[in-house]
Amino acid sequence: MPFSLVNGTSSVTLYASDGALLSEALNFYTNVLGFTYHSEDGNVTYLANTGASMVVKIIVSKTRGLSSSDIQTKKQEFIKILNVYDWRSVESNVVLKTASVADLTTTLQTFGFPIQVSPNEMFPNELYTIDPLGTVIGFCAAKNPLTLNPPLQKTNRLLSMEMKSTSGSQTAQLVLPSHKRNIAVMTSGGDAPGMNANVRAVVRTAIYHGCKAFCVMEGYEGLIRGGPEFIREMSWADVRGFLSEGGTNIGTARSKEFRERKGRLLGCKHLIEAGIDALIVCGGDGSLTGADLFRAEWPSLIGELKDTNQITSEQFEKHKHLNICGTVGSIDNDMATTDATIGCYSALDRIVQAIDYIDATANSHSRAFVIEVMGRHCGWLALMAGISTSADYIMIPEKPASSKDWQVQMCDIVGKHRAKGKRKTIVIVAEGAITNDLSPISAEDVKNCLVDELGLDTRVTTLGHVQRGGNAVSYDRWLATLQGVEAVHAVLECTPDTPSPLIAIEENKIVRKPLVEAVEMTKKVASAIESKDFAKAMSLRDSEFTEHLHNFLAMNSANHNEPSLPLEKRKKIAIMNIGAPAGGMNSAVYAMATYCMSRGHVPYAIHNGFAGLARHESVKLIDWLEIEDWSSMGGSELGTNRETPGDTDIGMIAYFFEKYRFDGLIIVGGFEAFVSLDQLEKARTMYPAFRIPMVLIPATISNNVPGTEYSLGADTCLNSLIQYCDIVKQSASATRDRTFVVEVQGGNSGYVATNAALCSGALASYVPEEGITLPQLEADIQHLKAAFKADQGLARSGKLVLKSSNASKVLTTEVLASIMKQEADGEFDAKTAIPGHVQQGGLPSPIDRTRGARFAIKAVQFIEENCDTVTRHKYDLDFDVSTRVVQNTAAVLGVKGSHLRFTCIRQLFDFETDLNKRMPKKIHWQKTRDISDILVGRTRVVANKNTVF
C-alpha cells in the first residue's frame, strides 16, 4: 500500500524507547501499512514505501521515546475521548496519503488498533490511529491538504496537552472539559412535514461536532418509558433518506403522564441513565411548554433522584443542568415570534393544490365551494390560502363578525363578485372559525347560508388530515435543516444561566428567541380570543400576519366598494414583466391591480415588455374579471422578454410613458429587469417621463438580482426540482449502485443548485462561483465510492450529484457522468438527468403567490409615498436627478436578512453588482452551501485557482 506525506515532505522521524517497541513499530509499518525495510545506521532504522518516495526513520532513544506504560496510558486516554473530541485537536500528527481510507479502516480494525474517522463513520475522508510508539498518525485519500468547509467553531472541543513528570518519565495528561455533550432530539405533538429533516440535521450536526446523538422515540411517551428502545443512540446512517419522507420517523405521542411531576421525574431519570445533557424538541406550543417546564424543574427533579438514591452522586454532578432548545413543528404556523413553523408551507401547499383542482370544477358548474382547513386557534392557513387562490371570503378566529352580520357580509361580497360576472365562489373556513360571541361557524353553516340567501349550488370539502400528509416542500426542508443545525449550536453554547432558546425565522434569517416568551405570547392569543378581545389577539400575531390580512381585505374589495383614497390622490400606475417567466409574476400583477382598484388608482398593464411597448403600444387597462384567477396561474400572462429599454427605443418608451401620464412603474423580473431599471433611472436627465417612482420586484428562478436574498419564482423552481430529484433518486435506489448527475439551471448563480442539494441530500454540488477542480472531483468520486460501499445495496441508497449548467464549460454534465463512471471502477454507475425548463415550475407555489401579493402591494404603497417627491417638479429645467432623495425613488424591493427593504438602484448597480457575471458581489447563501456539504459528509478540497474548470 503506497504512502506519501500530505504536507509534501519526504520523511518522518519517530522514536522508540527500547528494542521491543522498535520491533512492534517495524511490524506495524511493514505488515499492517506495507512499508518495506530499507536500511540501518546504528540506532536508526529506515523504512520506505514503493519507489522510496517516502521514508520513515525510527530512532531508538530512551529519553525521547515513550515507555510502554506511557504509551498504554496515552492510548487509554485517547480511547476514552474517541466519540467526544477530535484527536487532531489534541496533539500534532503525521498525515499520510492512502489510496483507500475505507480499506485501511478495515485493516486497522482487523489488527485491533484504535481508530477515529473524520468527518464520520459513514463517509470516512480522513482516518487517525495511534501507532505502537504512541504517535498519532493520520491518513487521507486526497493529493492536497484537506479542509472541512466550513471551519465551524467546534464548541467545547479545544483540548490542551500537559506533560507531567512521573518517576522521571513523561506521561501525557489530557486536560478535558467537565464532560461531553450527548444531544437528544424528539418530535412531539401533531406531526408536520419537515420534522424528519429536522431530526436528520440535529443528528448529523451533533456527530459532526464530536457529540453523541440520540433520538427519543414516541415523543414524551418515550421519555416516560426510557431504555435503549425509546432513547436510541443514532449513527450517521440511521437518518439516511429522512429528507424526502413526510411525518416523523421517530414517532410522536401526547403523554398524560408527562404532564404530572411524577412523569417528569421518570423522564429525568431516563435521560440521566442515557447520559443525555441536552434536549432539542421539535413540536408545537404545548410540546415546547412542557420542554421548558422540564428544564425549570430539572434541579429539583435531579435533587429528588439523588436523595432517593435513584442516581449516583457522580451522575448528579455530571447532569446538574439540562440544556433545552425548541424548534417549532406545526402546520398551523401558530407560534409567536417566528414567521414560519416547520410544516406550515407544506400544509398550505396541499390546501392550495386542492383548491386549484376544485376551482376548475366550480368554474365548470358555476358552483360555490366551502373549504374547511385546519386551524383551531390560528387562521394563518385559511388566510394564506385565501390570498393564494383569490378566494371570495375567508373565516378565521382572529377576526370574527357578529353572530348576525357574518352572513350579511359574506353574501354581500359573494353577491357583488357574482354580479361582476364571476362564475365560481370559494369560501375558506378555518376549523376554529367563530362569531364575536364565540359561537362556532361550521362549513355546513356557510353552505346553508350560500344556498338559502343566494341560491348557489354549493358543496363542502373538508380537507382534514390530508393537510398534514405527504413529503415536505423545499422550504420546509430548508427551514427544518437550518433550524436543526442552529439548535445544536445553541445547546452547545448554552450555559446554565442561558434561557431556553427557540429557533425562529425572520424573513430570511434564522434567529434565536426566548422560548418562554414565545410560548407565553402564543397562549395569550388563545386567551384573548376566549375573552373576546379580538384586537389584542391580532396585535399578538406577528406583523406579517396582520399585513397579509389587511392586504386580503383590500384586494377582496377591489372594484366593488368605494375607493379608500380621495380623487386628487389617485394615480395611474403601470406594471410589466421583464426577463424569463417565473412563478409568482401573475400573482404580483393580480395583487397590484386589485389593490390599486381598492385605493382608487388606475392600473395599467404593459404587455410583452419594453419591446411590446415600443413597437406595438401594448398598454391596456386591467379589468378585474379578466385577471380574477391569475394568482393560481404559472408563467406570465402579460408576456415577457429579455429586451431592455436600451435594446429597443428608449425615446419611444418615454413617449408612451408621457402619453399615458404614468405616475408610477412596477417592473417584475430578473437581471434584465434590474438593468432596465438602471437605464430608466439614468435616462431621467433627458426624459421627464421617467421622473416617477419606479420599483423592481425581483422575479427569477436564478435568484441573482442584487438587493435581495429572495426572488419570486425561486421557491416554485425548487419545489419542481426537488420533486424531480426525489423521483430520480428513487429510480437510482431501485437500480442499486447508481448515481445521477442532475443539471440545474441558474445561470452564473449557484443558488438553485446549493439549495436543491440541501433539500435533496445530494452528495455533491458544483456551482459557477467555485467551478470544478480535479482534486475536488477526485475527492467526490472517492466519497461516492465510500457511500455505496457503506450502503451495501440497501434501500434508499440512490445518490445524486447536482451541477449548475454554468459550473464548467469543459466538464459538461455528460462528461462529468462519464468521468465518474470511468473512475468508479465498476463500484457504481453514473447517468445524467436534465430537467431543463421543468425547473421554471408549473403552478406557482403558495410562497411565491403570497410573496408576490405582498411585494406588489408594498410596491404600490412605495409609489403612493414617493410620487410627490419627483412628480411635483417633474418638468423643472433645473431638476436635479442626482440627489439621494430623487435616487431613492427608483428602487429594488427585496428581502435582506430579517428585513424587507427598498434599496435604490444607483447604490446597487454602482457598488453591489458584478455586471459581467450578472450577479451580486456578495453571495448570501454561502452558509447554506457549507451546511449542505457538512450534512452529507462531503470534504471540501482547497481549490487551486489555476485548476478550476
Q: Which cell numbers hold the place of 334? A: 401558530
Q: Give 784's Cβ-side CA count (13 Å radius).
A: 33
Residue listed under C-alpha cell 410540546: 287
Catalytic residue from among 332, 334, 542, 726: 332
Q: Which cell numbers hold the place of 265? A: 421525574
The backbone torsions φ and ψ at residue 426, rounded to the nearest 5 degrees and listed phi first, read -120, 120
For residue 831, say whether it is annotated as part of any ligand binding site: yes
Roughly how many angstroms between the first and final C-alpha of the chain, as a whole number?
Answer: 31
**Rounded CA gap, 846 and 393, in Å?**
18
Between CA 886 and CA 893, with CA 888 as vertex, the angle to 5 degrees is 150
CB 565 within 8 A of CB 663: no
CB atoms within 10 A of CB 17: 21
3-state class (DSSP) for residue 430: strand
Q: Where are the alpha helices (DSSP H) in 773-812?
A: 774-791
For residue 512, say whether it is annotated as part of any ligand binding site: no
Q: Which cell numbers hold the place of 578? A: 421583464
Between CA 341 and CA 478, with CA 358 as vertex, the angle to 5 degrees is 25
For residue 861, say whether it is annotated as part of any ligand binding site: no
For residue 468, say whether it is annotated as part of any ligand binding site: yes
How far is CA 559 from its chain centroid? 39
Q: Which cell numbers hold the place of 306? A: 439523588
Q: List Cβ neighbours of 360 (8 Å cut-off, separation of 6 or more).
A: none
For residue 467, say whether it is annotated as part of any ligand binding site: yes
For residue 707, say whether it is annotated as part of any ligand binding site: no
Q: Which cell numbers hold the place of 602? A: 388606475
Distances 853 to 90, 530, 606, 770 between C-alpha atoms, Å: 55, 31, 18, 35
> For residue 393, which of 378, 375, 379, 403 has the smallest C-alpha distance?
379
**Rounded CA gap, 91 and 595, in Å?**
66
Q: In this structure, what DSSP letter does residue 148 have?
A: -
Strand partners of residue 16: 60
3-state class (DSSP) for residue 440: strand
For residue 747, say whether it is annotated as part of any ligand binding site: yes
CB 218 within 8 A of CB 252: yes
For residue 837, say whether it is annotated as part of any ligand binding site: yes
Q: Which cell numbers hold the place of 692? A: 416617477
> For residue 480, which of 500, 505, 507, 506 has the smallest C-alpha distance?
505
For residue 929, say whether it is annotated as part of any ligand binding site: no
For residue 466, say whether it is annotated as part of any ligand binding site: yes
**Rounded CA gap, 31 and 94, in Å?**
19
How far is CA 310 from its chain centroid? 42
For residue 225, say whether it is annotated as part of any ligand binding site: no
Q: Is the dihedral of CA 106, 112, 118, 123 positive or negative?
A: positive
For residue 738, say whether it is annotated as part of any ligand binding site: yes
For residue 190, say whether it is annotated as part of any ligand binding site: yes
For residue 374, say whether it is annotated as part of any ligand binding site: yes
Q: In this structure, what DSSP letter does residue 30 have?
A: I
For residue 270, say whether it is annotated as part of any ligand binding site: no
For residue 704, say whether it is annotated as part of any ligand binding site: yes
Distances 342 to 149, 186, 213, 429, 710 between C-alpha atoms, Å: 27, 14, 21, 22, 19
Q: Which cell numbers hold the place of 100? A: 483507500
Distances 567 to 31, 514, 602, 857 between C-alpha atoms, Å: 93, 48, 11, 20
Q: Are strands 136-140 and 94-97 parallel, antiparallel or unpaired?
A: parallel
For residue 88, say whether it is annotated as part of any ligand binding site: no
For residue 194, say whether it is annotated as part of any ligand binding site: no
Q: Which cell numbers hold the place of 596? A: 390599486
Distances 815 to 395, 746, 808, 819, 820 between C-alpha atoms, Å: 56, 20, 10, 6, 9
For residue 319, say whether it is annotated as part of any ligand binding site: no
For residue 746, say whether it is annotated as part of any ligand binding site: yes
Burial of 807 by CB count in 10 Å (0-12 exposed, 13-18 middle, 19+ buried)?
A: buried
Distances 125 to 101, 128, 282, 303, 937 between C-alpha atoms, Å: 7, 10, 31, 44, 8
For residue 254, say whether it is annotated as part of any ligand binding site: yes
For residue 642, say whether it is annotated as part of any ligand binding site: yes
For residue 19, say whether it is annotated as part of any ligand binding site: no
For this structure, is 715 an active site residue?
Answer: no
For residue 287, say whether it is annotated as part of any ligand binding site: yes
CB atoms within 10 A of CB 497: 6
Burial of 87 by CB count in 10 Å (0-12 exposed, 13-18 middle, 19+ buried)?
A: buried
- Which positions make up the binding site for ATP? 190, 254-255, 284-287
- Which positions make up the binding site? 190, 254-255, 284-287, 330-332, 367, 374-376, 431, 459, 465-468, 642, 700-704, 738, 745-747, 831, 837-840, 918
- Which positions make up the binding site for Mg(2+)? 285
- Which positions make up the binding site for beta-D-fructose 2,6-bisphosphate? 642, 700-704, 738, 745-747, 831, 837-840, 918
- Which positions make up the binding site for substrate? 330-332, 367, 374-376, 431, 459, 465-468
Positions marked active-site: 332
